[in-house]
Amino acid sequence: MKLRKWLVVMLSVMLVVLAACSNSNPSGGNEGGGDKEGGADLGKEVTLKIMLPGDRPQDLDKIVAAAEQKMKEDGLNYKLNFVFVPWADLASKTQVTLTSGEEIDMIYDAPWLHINQMTSEGYYTDLTDLIKEHGQNILNAGSELIFEANKFNGKMTAIPLGSKNGHANSIIIRKDIREELGLEEVKTHEQFIEFLRAVKEKKPEIIPYSAWGVSPDLSYAGIRIENDYEAGFRVTPAFNRNFTLYLKGNDPTVYNLFDEMDPTIWSYIELTRSMYQEGLINPDIMSSPDSKVMLKSGEIASMTYTDFSMQQNTLRELQANVPGADLEIFELYKFEKNANTSDYKQNDYLAIPKASKNPVDAIKFLNWAHEQDNYNLISFGIEGEHWEAVGDTQYKPLKDSYPWFGWSFLWAPKYHKFSAEFSPEDLAKNEFYYTAENFEKDVLTGFTFDTSPIANEIAQFNSIDAKYYPLIMNGVVDPAEAWDKYKKEGEAVVKKIQNELQGQIQTFLDGQK
Amino acid sequence: MGFFKEIYRNRSLYTLALPGLLFLVIFAYIPMFGHLIAFKKFNATIGFWNSPWVGFKNFEFFFSSGQWLEVTWNTIFLNSLFIIFGLGLAVVMAILLNEIRLAIVKRFAQSIIFMPYFISWMVVSLMVYALLNTTDGMINQMLKSLGMDAVGWYNNANFWPSILTIVYVWKMAGYYSIIFLASITGISSDYYESARIDGATRFQQIRHITLPLIRPTIIVLALLAVGRIFYGDFAMIYGIIGDNAALFSTTDVIDTFSYRALRQLGDFGMSSSVALYQSIMGVVAIILFNWIIRKVDKDSALF
């Protein structure tokens, strides 16, 4: 009869597992009714559930308690329930949450995640009227240009976070090495290459230059093309890291490098190749780990940098490994009014799902958070404990237990504070960059490329692209030979994608007239 | 009514098999319906049944790319190397381990060769990079100190089938050798005793007793591996090679190829079409391999 006992045990284990599985779902949503300590005049307590990416800040509970207290004083009886989803599960978890209709009141979404898909399939509430009625603070905190440009099909279905404009790359250089070699500060590309040669010759143990080999847009050729203000090359909405299809200036015509190679682009590719052959570029650039890691460990003397102001923690980590090391930035980006275009599209959004039972309360809460003091509390923590103000527009963190995660949920340029570690020049650059009015409006502002009619071609091109383009742009292979192969395999699909893209752009422009 | 009679007669045994059968049904048979997605323009938001049928459209990106033959060949070639050298060396190691007489040395050796199995592929890839990189990789440093030129390992695809095989064997052979060792331990010592009485050398004992008796284990493990010969070890290949296009010509396997093609699109239908292709080819490979085994040794065949 041992067998029967075993069966009983097995079955009960299975039952417990099944019960645990089916129970886990409804638990989150229904906490609102619980404790009723708030006064009757505040109305019914509402729990707002907010789903965000990343890790839960250590001191979040403390800040939430302070915020709830403050809201009560201001007449809002809200509880905040933050749910953090690890990056690796973000796409699937948020999609399942939305499609299964779980009651979430605010959720993070982004173009690289699934905001276009979710919006067009109607999962997000249209906030246009709600915000006008209950969220004036939100509208007042940002530029109208940004709100206008971030509408989806004419509806404001998500609140854009921040106000970035395009992307600005630079080259970061080991200042201490440059000074040791007796060179002047790098202001031109000729000086930069001179610096690389000097490193190669006098510091053979250090790699002169590296970048993220797998991101061809960050290769030396890539940043030269992107920052050539005379030619004004820009990537198309079809391939965001590849210049095989490109735009010139603020014009909607899509050019194709397979039809005609642009001599300027080709000269950058050949220059990069000669630098690679000369040993100025990391020979293992295609397989090296994160080049930022290499910079921090002191292995490389320069690299492409995806920011225009230096992040002090990078410098600190470098100095911990290499005492006396210092960094400086070789600027490629022009901080001049109307020198750059922007379609004002943001990278991060906060949406209110249709499944939410409390859309008005969610907006009221956000409206409350868009007041300077409340914004400070939620963004930076408790003043005096987590941060202190430096001037009007900067702050200094005092603890690591409440890192800024507002980029995923609350980020209004008007109230935002920059890190106190920013120098006055960095601060000026940041302020320039976050001001929409400094940019020329992109002709394609508001256009989104629908890839579904040519999904097969895109998938085919992705694998051809990965096979040749990063090698060509990083100078790892002979460009003439590789380009011929690349063209031979890719020409037909790229042509189809170009035609589809140009057609959709035309329809979009016709619709605007 | 023979079927039900049989079930009833051996009911306790079948009950014992029930959890395993349930597991197979839930995790192996039911998901097979998922292959239907390969023929649909699947959209999670409207559900499986509402997604439209698209025939073979999802297969186009793979089969019209001109690269499918290359990646299929790479997958089979690399996996064959892994199977032959991985299992081969595991058998050798198991036999050698078995010959160690001092228990403590044997246990120690066993643990040491088993250890790499627990290291994740990401860590292995960093170790490989530390060994092979051009600037300060250990191997290139050694070559330089011997007065030779540094080798650009990461720029030459021809080296990589061998490098990957060495890495695979280093990591996995210890694991398989434990399985073989278990089956060697199961061999009755009577055989060895009588062989010794007849004056057989150690080598003869290995050749005529150990090897024939562990042959079924070798064949079963090989069959299982052959069933997955069309699946590249994604964690391994992508961990070590990543997106280094200079090495694709010998190392790009079906899994990494389709990952690269589809990672931005996130299209379920297209990825399912590749999975279906791999499954069908896997079945074909098993049937073929089993047929060969049946010709050679009828008793060892699976079916």
CB contact under 8 A, B66 and A489: yes
Task: Supply the pLDDT for residue A111.
Answer: 81
Give ∠ CA A76-A77-A81 in degrees, rounded to 5.
Answer: 110
More confident residue, A453 or B262: A453
Neighboring chain A residues of B66 at a CB cutoff of 8 Å: 489
Residues A459-486 have a mean pLDDT of: 93
**Residue A489 sits at the chain B interface (C-beta within 8 Å):** yes
Task: Supply the pLDDT for residue A13.
Answer: 53
Task: Supply the pLDDT for residue A41.
Answer: 59
Residue B284 lies inside a defined structural domain of this protein: yes
CB contact under 8 A, B257 and A463: yes
CB contact under 8 A, B243 and A466: yes
In chain A, where are the structural domains located? 29-162+346-424
B56, closest residue in chain A (CA to CA): A456
H-assigned helices in A159-239: 175-180, 189-202, 220-226
Same domain for B39 and B183: no
Same domain for B161 and B24: no
Min Cα distance B106 → chain A (Å) is 37
Bridging pattern class, strands A78-85 and A440-441: unpaired
Both tokens of A130, joined, read 């709600």
ipTM of the complex: 0.80
Q: How many Cβ atoms sit within 10 Å of the Cβ of residue A32?
A: 18
Residue B13 lies inside a defined structural domain of this protein: no
Nearest to A287 among B61, B154, B261 (CB): B154
Name the strands in the sheet holding A302-305, side by side, starting at the edge strand that comes first in the sequence.
A302-305, A170-174, A327-331
More confident residue, A166 or A418: A418
Rg (CA), chain A: 26
Number of separate helices (H) and strands (E) present in chain A? 18, 16
Min Cα distance B100 → chain A (Å) is 40
How far from A35 is each of A44, A111, A230, A471, CA to CA, in Å? 10, 38, 64, 61
Task: Supply the pLDDT for residue A79.
Answer: 93
CB contact under 8 A, A460 and B265: no
Q: Compute the count of residue pairs across chains A and B with CB atoms less than 8 Å apart.
A: 107
Nearest to B155 among A451, A456, A476 (CB): A476
Say how far apart CA A4 and CA A10 lie, in whole Å. Answer: 10
Neighboring chain B residues of A10 at a CB cutoff of 8 Å: 19
Neighboring chain B residues of A282 at a CB cutoff of 8 Å: 135
CB contact under 8 A, A463 and B261: yes
CB contact under 8 A, B260 and A286: no
**Which of A462, A476, A496 best probes binding to B when mutated, by most B CB atoms within 10 angstroms?**
A462
Both tokens of A275, joined, read 């630098």
Q: What is the DSSP string of chain B?
A: -HHHHHHHHTHHHHHHHHHHHHHHIIIIIGGGGGGGGGGB---TTT-TTTSPB-TTGGGHHHHTSS-HHHHHHHHHHHHHHHHHHHHHHHHHHHHHHHH--SHHHHHHHHHHHHGGGGS-HHHHHHHHHHHH-TTT-HHHHHHHHTTPPPP-GGG-GGGHHHHHHHHHHHHHHHHHHHHHHHHHHTS-HHHHHHHHHTT--HHHHIIIIIHHHHHHHHHHHHHHHHHTTTS--HHHHHHHHTT-GGGHHHH--HHHHHHHHHTTT--HHHHHHHHHHHHHHHHHHHHHHHHHHHHH-GGG---
Residue A328, phi then psi, degrees to nearest 5: -145, 165
Tokens 């005096």 sit on residue: A384
CB contact under 8 A, B245 and A471: yes
CB contact under 8 A, B135 and A282: yes
Could you give the dihedral angle defined by the CA atoms of residues A62, A65, A68 and A72, in that order, rounded to the nearest 10 degrees? -130
For the stretch A113-164, pLDDT in tens is: 888 778 877 889 999 999 999 999 999 888 888 888 888 877 899 999 987 7
Neighboring chain B residues of A286 at a CB cutoff of 8 Å: 154-155, 242-247
> What CATH number is given to the structural domain containing B233?
1.10.3720.10
pLDDT at A29 over 90: no
Same domain for B43 and B77: no
Min Cα distance A400 → chain B (Å) is 28
Tokens 């590849």 sit on residue: A242
Nearest to A102 by CA among A18, A27, A185: A27
Bridging pattern class, strands A106-109 and A158-161: unpaired
**What is the SS3 assignment for A296?**
helix
| Residues of chain B with a CB closer than 8 angstroms to some CB in chain A | 12, 15-16, 19, 44-46, 57, 60-61, 64-67, 126, 129, 133-136, 152, 154-155, 241-248, 257, 260-267, 270
Name residues 29-48 of chain A within 8 A of B (Cβ): none
Same domain for B127 and B84: yes
Question: What is the total count of domains within chain B?
Answer: 2
Same domain for B139 and B112: yes
More confident residue, A469 or A425: A469
CB contact under 8 A, A464 and B44: no
Residue B200, phi then psi, degrees to nearest 5: -75, 140
CB contact under 8 A, A3 and B15: yes
CB contact under 8 A, B245 and A455: no
A11, closest residue in chain B (CA to CA): B19
Name the strands in the sheet holding A233-235, side by side, starting at the edge strand that comes first in the sequence.
A233-235, A245-248, A255-256
DSSP A185: P
Same domain for B256 and B167: yes
Percent of chain A exceeding pLDDT 70 equals: 92
CB contact under 8 A, B261 and A468: no
Host domain of residue B272: 66-300
**Which of A9, A281, A287 best probes binding to B when mutated, by most B CB atoms within 10 angstroms?**
A287
For the stretch A46-79, pLDDT in tens is: 999 999 998 898 899 999 999 999 999 999 999 9
Nearest to A286 among B60, B246, B263 (CB): B246
**Residue A476 sits at the chain B interface (C-beta within 8 Å):** yes
pLDDT at A7 over 60: no
Same domain for B235 and B117: yes
Same domain for B71 and B49: no
For the stretch A272-330, pLDDT in tens is: 999 999 999 999 999 887 888 899 999 999 999 988 877 787 888 899 999 999 999 99
Q: Are A83 and A93 in contact (CB under 8 A)?
A: no
Task: Supply the pLDDT for residue B296.
Answer: 83
Q: Are A244 and A335 in contact (CB under 8 A)?
A: no
Say how far apart CA A236 and CA A217 lie, in whole Å. Answer: 13
Task: Supply the pLDDT for residue A40.
Answer: 43
Same domain for B111 and B136: yes
Say how far apart CA A80 and CA A71 lie, in whole Å. Answer: 11
Residue B60 lies inside a defined structural domain of this protein: no
A463, closest residue in chain B (CA to CA): B261
**Residue A451 sits at the chain B interface (C-beta within 8 Å):** yes
Q: What is the value of pTM for the model shown?
A: 0.80
Task: Supply the pLDDT for residue A28.
Answer: 36
Min Cα distance A468 → chain B (Å) is 7
pLDDT at A244 over 70: yes
Neighboring chain A residues of B134 at a CB cutoff of 8 Å: 283-284
Q: Are B74 and B81 in contact (CB under 8 A)?
A: no
Say how far apart CA A429 and CA A445 lie, in whole Å. Answer: 23
**Residue A282 sits at the chain B interface (C-beta within 8 Å):** yes
Nearest to A456 among B44, B60, B266 (CB): B60
Min Cα distance B257 → chain A (Å) is 7
Say how far apart CA A320 and CA A314 lie, in whole Å. Answer: 10
Residue B100 lies inside a defined structural domain of this protein: yes
Same domain for B82 and B48: no
Same domain for B51 and B197: no
**Which of B133, B138, B255 best probes binding to A when mutated, by most A CB atoms within 10 angstroms?**
B133
CB contact under 8 A, B65 and A117: no
Same domain for B170 and B46: no
Nearest to A286 among B66, B245, B260 (CB): B245
Neighboring chain A residues of B44 at a CB cutoff of 8 Å: 95, 99
Both tokens of B105, joined, read 């040395």
B60, closest residue in chain A (CA to CA): A456
Task: Supply the pLDDT for residue A27.
Answer: 37
Residues of chain B whose pLDDT is less than 50?
none
Mean pLDDT, chain A, whole residue set: 86
CB environment B277-294: b (16+ within 10 A), e (fewer)? bbbebbeebbeebbeebe
Residue B14 lies inside a defined structural domain of this protein: no
For the stretch B214-244, pLDDT in tens is: 998 998 898 888 888 988 888 899 999 988 9
Q: Are B238 and B259 in contact (CB under 8 A)?
A: yes
Q: Are B178 and B114 in contact (CB under 8 A)?
A: yes
Beta bridge partners of A74: none
Return the CATH fold of A29-162+346-424: D-Maltodextrin-Binding Protein; domain 2 (3.40.190)
For the stretch A352-404, pLDDT in tens is: 999 999 999 999 999 999 999 999 999 999 998 999 888 888 888 888 888 88
